[in-house]
Structure 1
């Protein structure tokens, strides 16, 4: 299981903030590989809010005792003191992002962005932008640089704006067959992102036109197939830089780039720093955290 998370003041305890309109307490992500089942049950809920994003696979949530299977492309909102009960299964390859937040004006902020008081599940669509914002919040909570608390709110507001735009879009009702086709494509790219993938070949093998496929894939994921594959490569490159000792050339090859120089340049364009600088930044943050009491 892969876990990456950050907590305000290094505490996992939930809390209610009354001083700020909005305050971010923690943020993280889970990916299940070997752990077969990951359950969470908080009968009395928490003091804060939680917004979970199902980026890949599926997750099982219980509302008023009834199970609801939530597929990728949806978010789940828990409010303070609501019972929280949900399960992840490795066989369904879930990738989950979550953020806990509190404040004295949260209800009105959520309403402003189209999230009503009775909303539990929000159709968000699958988007790498959501992942980018969650990962940015995780990094800020881990590194705790100057003004990070303010920046956390900024990233979270960006997330709410993206959700609101999706709500207002009200996309045409998709047929189950079309949704299944896009789900299969997302799963295929996620499993083969580090291989040479031809969008034209994929479309031909599935008896669909290239133009139709790109158009519907973009409407489903908010990005093109090529951009989606590139984002998967960069996301997994970050994971390898953080969790392994592989050098940049090895990581370049592992995520699907034959040319390490091209990989480094593209990584810098996407992340604002080279792979070497990214790893160095993480190591510096770890050392600072170790020194804290």
Structure 2
């Protein structure tokens, strides 16, 4: 059931690419923040708790936090963040930025207010590979905020949406365990990153350091599918993108998703998607 956050508002949203050895600290941040890693990796220290962030992983951060960003020296992370005020009192001065000091916070304290959200208590950890819907909304918010001067009504609507989507994500039983979220999310990210290659269960074992039984159990319990079925689904979703683009033959698309035999690719596509590759292309061509 959706909650009413009609007074919530997005006050800032951006991407930031860290350089090697660039460490950034903010002592007192007055917002709730959805923070995620888009590429590379590194660590984030929140109120003396340290979290490792890799591609696809996200944190939802508490109000009045101290935060320290520590990028990897080999592959510094590109991070994205959405700052949400749970209750931004209406008909008050609008600041599309975030208070990063106690002095700034005092000035805005009467109308920039935190709100108790039990489902988002603490520092929840998630992975966008377990919810593409949440990822697409988050990316849309970044684009909308950055494209032009933010509009209050739009930022309030998006603030309401993102808080409700986060609550929905963390209300699902399989998302409550951060360990499960991290392990499964990283395996799914590996599949997304290597869709152009044949991927076997052995590859997933070697990547994750989990047994085949452990991997199959994760997929069954939390996605109600098998690793092989999920690999096929991800490959066929990529194949749909190539088919819609219209520039490649069916055989070429099969090769692009790691299936060299065009007959087997067509058979697998129809099994997963319900229609043949050519029929899917015909259905998608009417724009």
150, 153, 163: which is aligned to 1:157? 163
Shift, 1:122, TM fit: 1.2
Shift, 1:184, TM fit: 6.6
Change (3 A) 1:107 1:93: same
Change (3 A) 1:112 1:48: closer
Shift, 1:135, TM fit: 1.4
Matches within 5 A, 1:14-25: 21-25=7-11
Q: Which residue of 2 aligns with 1:196?
A: 198
Tell me if structure 2 keeps the 8 A contact 1:193–1:256.
yes
39, 52, 56: which is aligned to 1:70? 52
Matches within 5 A, 1:225-264: 225=227, 227=230, 249=248, 256=257
Shift, 1:216, TM fit: 0.6
Give the TM-score of the pair, scaled to structure 2.
0.53
Q: Deviations over 1:212-237 (max 9, x none)?
A: 634414656898756578669979x9
Tell me if structure 1 keeps the 8 A contact 2:17–2:77.
yes
Tell me if structure 1 keeps the 8 A contact 2:15–2:79.
yes
Q: Which has the greater radius of gyration? A: 2
Shift, 1:165, TM fit: 0.9
Is 1:139 aligned to residue 122 of structure 2? no
Q: Deviations over 1:204-263 (max 9, x none)?
A: 8789557x634414656898756578669979x99xxxxxxx99659979963889x959
CA RMSD across the alignment:
5.3
**Stretches of structure 2 lacking an aligned partner (at least 5 in a row):** 1-5, 89-112, 263-275
**Stretches of structure 1 lacking an aligned partner (at least 5 in a row):** 1-19, 239-245, 278-293
Tell me if structure 2 keeps the 8 A contact 1:26–1:101.
yes
Q: How far, CA to CA, are the matches of 1:29 and 1:232 in structure 2?
A: 28
Q: How far, CA to CA, are the matches of 1:172 and 1:100 in structure 2?
A: 22
Q: How far, CA to CA, are the matches of 2:221 and 2:145 in structure 1?
A: 32
Q: How far, CA to CA, are the matches of 2:39 and 2:224 in structure 1?
A: 15
Secondary structure of the corresponding residue to residue 69 of structure 1? strand
Secondary structure of the corresponding residue to residue 85 of structure 1? strand
Q: Which residue of 1 aligns with 2:63?
A: 79
Secondary structure of the corresponding residue to residue 197 of structure 1? coil
Give the TM-score of the pair, scaled to structure 1.
0.52
218, 222, 225: which is aligned to 1:216? 218
Tell me if structure 2 keeps the 8 A contact 1:97–1:134.
no
Shift, 1:38, TM fit: 4.4
117, 136, 149: which is aligned to 1:112? 117
Q: Which residue of 2 aligns with 1:97?
A: 80
Is 1:51 aligned to residue 55 of structure 2? no
19, 26, 33: which is aligned to 1:42? 26
Q: How far, CA to CA, are the matches of 2:16 and 2:234 in structure 1?
A: 18
Name which structure has the greater RCO, CA cutoff 8 Å, separation 6+.
Answer: 2
Shift, 1:140, TM fit: 3.2
